[in-house]
A and B are shown apart, each in its own frame.
Chain A
């Protein structure tokens, strides 16, 4: 039986047969994809994991604030400006001392795209052997829904409120995945819970590729509380984000992107925005601008994918 199971490659089911690293009763909000994401990652990455985290939504559990719950992973909880660098310190020493370890950073978009961006960029540029995972909930959700540079234009947050003058966040979000692609990491990918098999494959590749260099994973993780989503809909929001091309699923070896989940007929962005109330104040022209931004970003990705494909062909021919 067991042998048969191992022969089937990349079956998500198999991962759930491995040991659960987190107890029940963890201090995450009901319906939050972060919990399932956190539980899933060690199932694929294995026992040699060392987590590096920072004050964020992941902190209450990873850093043991709720003393009734626990997890079995070694972890380092550092300052928000120190995730990529602390992971560097750990992995460099483990390599020097010959200790087999998979150093995994796990933090939100606020750390990755704002306060810890320089450090993330530095670690990527130095090609440190770490897996850096951003769970992107598009804002500072642990402190109660403030805007980050990953927050979408028009989104309602407590620091970009909607009022007589305020119309939500006035500027477009930082395109962090593209910025990371330009660092040309050994491997990078986007993932989300609605496409778990795709997620698992990417984690497995991450585990393999981190032996050679920097790995970046960007996980879409909507926040039911901050985005005002019904807690039973979070996975549906993930799926819709993929199907509207709002959050395309792709991967890249050495900066050459490839879409891993092709969406044949992308749905309109309204399918996405109607699932949450953070965009409910948007007018028709705002939605049109939102759609244009989604299309523009997807077109850029597509262009880069085509270019990578063409480059590969020329390399093969020559």
Chain B
């Protein structure tokens, strides 16, 4: 059995040796030999983190032997637990269990003697394992930190290089400086040299900046003021000039005395150059901005009143609103420009939506300018995001008050023209149509598309001489207006008569750019005028006839009676006289007929209106006219319907028919065909449009036609005139020779 002192010595040596043996395999070999030769232990194994370390064997991975709760080990394939005499000791520290020390002893009773030794050894081994793990973790951490530091140093050097920024510390006591590599580069000094003292640096400072630099450093040391200023420097070669930004911060000791100044110098030559270029560019931009014809503003949201702060507000904005940027920011744009609460709410919402990215495009707002005028403005916005992600709203504002008024006037004028009852045509100076109003298209049947670009000549009827048109164009091209009447051919070929006023249209400079033709359809008017004249003429005749007809009839009756008495008084041998008396009687009859006709025209004739069958009237009249119709005239009477009932005076109808038949026979001196037809027709709109008279309904029609010589236009125009006749010649026939 081990004696205590011997045990302590051996324990000390073993544990101290274990401390320096680096691997568990070597430790297991060492313990194996030590315990074997000194304690009689057959073998020692160490189980740690899934591996079994044993003397003479490879480190054996194992899942779990039954001893260390993970299975099997053994080169020969048997389990350790199956082997005899194994004792397992935990490799445990206060922190955790690191595995097991497995003791294989051939003599279990002896184990008890040296178990404390083995347990103490296992405790030391556990602590060694723990210390090594901690050391390894620490080393790893230190290594990572080391690499991180190295990386950081490299990064700092690289960053300084990229930023052209050097750092320094200046010891106020020793007046010595410590410079980073980039400092040397900035100042153009060999990095192998010691950093120059600051008084030496001032020698390389631009004369205009020297005092500021010197004062800043002095103030930093004496008054603890940090400094930040831009200065110009020269390299020692005096050829290179740079602008650098110098920043210094005093470091105080516990007594409040400045012991160091630390700071940086940054080469900002390029930046300065760009800034100056930018300033020049900005000046130019500002010049443009202030002189553009439209209002321009830039604003962004702020947390407090006025909630929206305008940073750009050009002269035109002030012109439109009357407010300066200071006033608008002081009052708040919404209060100043949109005082109506309801409108203000809408306006602010729109501004918010605009800031959120919903662009306003030519949106029309009504604002109130500083002088109280209501103005209409058109606003378009877009957003800009600056480097700090602040959203700025760029607004372009146009004052459209006057333009809108003109637009409204034009819209009204255009509506009036479009709805005008007068035909309006606008042509260019080549007489090509550019505009026609609705009345024109309705009257002519053309559409605007059909007419657009067409020359005005398409409406020419040919009834106006070239000279007439020439006169019109001569006047127009000389800048004067023309007025007259023109016949216009509609699309369907029909003709309308128009009263036309044509005049040139001029631009602001007085140049003729277009021609305006105002036309009024006077076709109906002219027809009505004709009809009116006819009507008046008839009325005059009627009044004249009505006034004298009664007395004249009495005279005729007297003449006829005396003619009768005279004839009865004659002898038979006075045949010639009797013929004269018959002529007198016949003429009296004709005069009486004429008088009755006059009374008819004057509507003073008493008519006997009653239901009459026209077919019967026409049939019956054959017996009347057969007595005086010539044999060379072939009469055809065609009755369309046997019964055509009308409300009329049958005597007057007979008179009309007899007159027509008589005229027809007169028109056919060489003989011919006389046809009389009766039927029922319906007058509809189409009939009315075609004939310009009539009332819708069913009517009896009597047609009397012949194939005689016909009528010329002059005769046609006068056929409805009372007492008009072409029969003077035949009348003379009856005149006694």
Q: Is B truly associated with A?
A: no
Q: Which residues on B are within 8 Å of A, measured CB to CB?
A: none
